[in-house]
Structure 1
Amino acid sequence: MSTPPHSPLPRRRWMIGALLGVGILINYLDRISLSVAAPQLRTEFHLSPAEVGLFLSAFFWSYSLLQVPAGMLLDRLGPKPIGRWGALLWSAASLLTAVAGGFGGIFAARVLLGVAEAPAFPACAKATGYWFPRRERALATALFDAAAKFSNVIGVPLVAWVVVVFGWRWGFGVTAALSFAYFAAYWALYRDPGADPRLSAAERRYIVEGGAASEGAAPAGALNMLGYLLSRAKVWGLTIGFAAYGYSFYLFLTWLPSYLVQAMHMDILRSAEYTAIPWLVATCADLLVGGWLIDRLVGSGHDESRVRKSVLIAGMVLGLAVFGATQTTSPGWAIAWISIALGGLAAAAPVGWSLPSLIAPKGGVGTVGGIMNFVNNLMGAAAPIVTGIIVGSTNSFGNAFVVAGVILLVGIAAFVFLLGRIEPVPEPGRR
């Protein structure tokens, strides 16, 4: 593994990393707008808890189903064109939500948003593999993964204020404007390293010699690569484990504001303040543990696989703190338990998102990311619906949190017994 030369390197790669992070931040502002506006929409459209869960899950249906096709397209075409057109389409979907004439229009716009945002995370994982050496991969991945958490720190209070003062339509209007601005920035700034005229020869050499993923399409072809990857236990270990993470993540992403309003009897603005706390903890854990600490330990010579896997499993174990939230009626204690759970899951998340670029054979990063995120977001579709059904039938969130904890236990077992060492899957024909 290479080490940086004594003369300072240009930092074009970190500008690209920041660009990807901003994209995910805005991407998630689009997603959380509906969860913040849900109490107003529930009143306006006279929705039951189960119907709210269905409403909140609409995005995940199309988003989940398109993960594998999006990953295959990424492996064929690369992050630049897919990222550009995805950003344009999700901007349009946010605008359509703001001007929709009723429940059906909003529902359809959310399905369209899922289509548009499907390539976002696999594209970031693939671009990070291109742009960063292995020794910097954890922090680079944490930049865009932490943005998903930080969107709740700044986005929930911002959107809540806009919704309360101006109404729910303006909440979606603000996110639409930010999305169009990002589309313009991505179009102007993003190139793959081999085609970026602003990337210096020295920085390019440092990235390549440090183990960056190879640019180019899969030698075996997209469909052959998909079939091959689906036969590998390592890929299924990653997929099942990350799906368990996704269930808890999306439960809190979609239901936490409503949980605080309904179970803790808060108004929308106060619930937004409380919601920001665990997401701020998650953002810090993502960057400091899932990013900086891993790169520091790997760079100091510790076994790369052991470091990443230890953080991955320890973070999932901390996620079991969700059980603690079932044992309290105090808002402070509930937020404390949820903060521990989300902090642990957030520390594990960058490891999960770095794995496609670390275990995939050449040309397979997007497909591994697509498989992983497909099952992850099936859980994203299931979590709001299951939670809504449980809350509607029991008038309590306790059993919903228990279900999340049991699913986390399954995920921990998958990481322990199926994932194995964090090392590349052999290329097809070289088993």
Structure 2
Amino acid sequence: MTAGPETSSETPARASRIGRARWGIAGVIGVGMFVNYIDRVNLSVATPEIMRDFHVSAGQMGIISSAFLWTYAVLQMPIGSIIDRIGVRWVNRAAAALWAVGSFLSAAAGGLGLLLISRLILGIGEVPTVPAGWKAIGQWFPQHERGRATSIFDGCAKISNVVGIPVMAFLVTTFSWHAAFIFTGILSLLYLLVWWLLYLTPRQSLAKGRLGQAEFDYMRSGGAQDERVTGAGSLRGIGYLLRRRKTWGIAFGYAAYTYAYYVLLTWLPGYLGKQFGVNLLSGGVYTMIPWLIAVIAQFVFAGVVMDRWIKRTGNETKVRRIVLVTSMLVSLTVAGAAYAGSIVVALVFLSIGAAGLAVSNPAGATIIALVAPEGYTGSLGGIVNFIANLIGIAAPIVTGLVVDATGSFAGAFLVTGLVLIAGILCYTVVLGKVERMPAPAADQ
């Protein structure tokens, strides 16, 4: 049965009258995504200074940049099952504490060894963020509001680039690259406190009076998942999902987005500096432009427009496929930066490409809660994120090696374009119709 909005008759005015506690939760998980990605972007800004301090090549720095993804990718599948078994709340409490540990260890690094270890620890800590966020959105939001909720969640990652890159650049140039990691460590501790105090499941919020009965019923009638339903949380459940074609369609489609995103996240300041000779502080200001355009595009098109379109038509497959394919075609313009002769032209190509990537992400991510068997959203999210980041590991390494070999970023951007084309094919040909997969036989 196709998953469609069951509350298409609900108006925004009525939704407002019945309560908006769910949007507060969207804000809490969005802030977590903001801190999570600032923890990642600080290394990209600090890269030129670290390379000078430790006397390393672009290829070696690419390995350090990718180290975060080694643990982050490998642990995605087990963490998805753990989230399905014990829930979002406690997993993210432990995770946020590790964010702080990773950042403070990075600040203390006096060589590549400790820096590598700190990135591996940060990867472990940030493993649950995306699958837990997807699962929380599936539990807190009716289907026709998930585009906006996911846009808030993922948009905060892009906002971290808009705000974080110039702030990190200021800290690095004014103090040292160590200061950037101290700053993110403190942010992580503050977020741990916020999450600990504010995040509850829908039923816990209902029991404590933070969520009204009318809003709870509105969420559930619109397809919000019951947090009491748990999957097998075992290799059997993961094995079942890995045998489904839809799993691979979503995973490789999302992997194409992830590869392109990590190319921009890890190397954009370095690209502007190498190709156009801008200094670190100016590069930080220029770098925020593509991410700002991306945030605006994501909220407007992937959030408001997509949700309203789905609500009006009730056709999940058609709407999400059109948004996915169109936005990923637009994202191919990042390859145009390979031929840019000026920083203005480069920023135009990069801004359009980043906007396309930003719009594609909520369209792709919200499919996970729609096609996962009941109680298996975390497991499917873990599989998708595992495969995506396994491929994403290659992004900073390939980019660094191409730059070392050719002296420019042109080849790296062309490779990114080819990866995106492959992602479009996966989201269309391999994925097929957007509908919930049946549960494993023992759970039916």
* 2:410 pairs with 1:401: no
Asked if 1 retains the 8 angstrom alpha-carbon contact of 2:107 and 2:182, the reply is yes
2:39 corresponds to which letter in structure 1? D
Instruction: Give 1:222 deviation, angstroms.
Output: 2.5
Which residues of 2 match residues 8-407 of structure 1 at below 5 A? 8-196=17-205, 197=208, 198-407=210-419
Paired with 1:6 and 1:85, the residues of 2 have a C-alpha distance of 34
2:287 corresponds to which letter in structure 1? T
Paired with 1:14 and 1:217, the residues of 2 have a C-alpha distance of 23
Equivalent position SS for 1:39:
helix
Instruction: Give 1:6 deviation, angstroms.
Output: 7.5
2:36 corresponds to which letter in structure 1? N
Instruction: Give 1:194 deviation, angstroms.
Output: 1.3
Instruction: Give 1:421 deviation, angstroms.
Output: 1.6
Instruction: Give 1:101 deviation, angstroms.
Output: 3.0
Paired with 2:100 and 2:177, the residues of 1 have a C-alpha distance of 17
Report the CA distance shift for 1:406/1:10 in structure 2 as closer, same or farther (over 3 A).
same
1:101 corresponds to which letter in structure 2? G
Instruction: Give 1:132 deviation, angstroms.
Output: 0.4
Q: Deviations over 1:338-382 (max 9, x none)?
A: 111110111010112212111100111001111111111112211
Paired with 1:338 and 1:178, the residues of 2 have a C-alpha distance of 29
1:418 corresponds to which letter in structure 2? V
Asked if 2 retains the 8 angstrom alpha-carbon contact of 1:76 and 1:222, the reply is no
Paired with 1:147 and 1:6, the residues of 2 have a C-alpha distance of 24
Asked if 2 retains the 8 angstrom alpha-carbon contact of 1:76 and 1:217, the reply is no
Q: How many residues align?
A: 431
Asked if 2 retains the 8 angstrom alpha-carbon contact of 1:218 and 1:225, the reply is no
Asked if 1 retains the 8 angstrom alpha-carbon contact of 2:141 and 2:219, the reply is yes
Asked if 1 retains the 8 angstrom alpha-carbon contact of 2:96 and 2:191, the reply is yes
2:387 corresponds to which letter in structure 1? V
Report the CA distance shift for 1:6/1:401 in structure 2 as closer, same or farther (over 3 A).
closer
Paired with 1:389 and 1:9, the residues of 2 have a C-alpha distance of 55
State, as a whole percentage, how many aligned pairs show the same letter. Answer: 42
Equivalent position SS for 2:313:
coil
Q: Deviations over 1:35-77 (max 9, x none)?
A: 0000000000001110111111111111111111111111111
Q: Deviations over 1:154-212 (max 9, x none)?
A: 00000100110010111111111111000000000101111122111111111111101
1:333 corresponds to which letter in structure 2? V
Asked if 2 retains the 8 angstrom alpha-carbon contact of 1:38 and 1:52, the reply is yes
1:364 corresponds to which letter in structure 2? Y
Tell me the TM-score normalised to structure 2 length: 0.95
Equivalent position SS for 1:273:
helix
Tell me the TM-score normalised to structure 1 length: 0.98
> Who is 1:419 aligned against?
431
2:144 corresponds to which letter in structure 1? R
Equivalent position SS for 2:436:
coil
Asked if 1 retains the 8 angstrom alpha-carbon contact of 2:84 and 2:233, the reply is no
Instruction: Give 1:220 deviation, angstroms.
Output: 4.3
Equivalent position SS for 1:288:
helix
Paired with 1:221 and 1:45, the residues of 2 have a C-alpha distance of 43
Paired with 2:140 and 2:26, the residues of 1 have a C-alpha distance of 8
Paired with 1:330 and 1:302, the residues of 2 have a C-alpha distance of 45
Paired with 1:403 and 1:89, the residues of 2 have a C-alpha distance of 34
Report the CA distance shift for 1:29/1:6 in structure 2 as closer, same or farther (over 3 A).
closer
Instruction: Give 1:24 deviation, angstroms.
Output: 0.4
Paired with 2:185 and 2:261, the residues of 1 have a C-alpha distance of 24
Instruction: Give 1:217 deviation, angstroms.
Output: 4.7
Using the TM superposition, name which of 318-327 and 68-77 deviates more: 318-327
Asked if 1 retains the 8 angstrom alpha-carbon contact of 2:84 and 2:231, the reply is no
Report the CA distance shift for 1:301/1:96 in structure 2 as closer, same or farther (over 3 A).
same
Using the TM superposition, name which of 97-106 and 48-57 deviates more: 97-106
Paired with 2:369 and 2:67, the residues of 1 have a C-alpha distance of 29
Asked if 2 retains the 8 angstrom alpha-carbon contact of 1:88 and 1:180, the reply is yes
Paired with 1:7 and 1:98, the residues of 2 have a C-alpha distance of 45
Asked if 2 retains the 8 angstrom alpha-carbon contact of 1:128 and 1:137, the reply is yes
Asked if 2 retains the 8 angstrom alpha-carbon contact of 1:220 and 1:428, the reply is no
Unaligned residue ranges in structure 2 (runs of 5+): 1-5
Instruction: Give 1:428 deviation, angstroms.
Output: 1.5
Equivalent position SS for 2:18:
coil
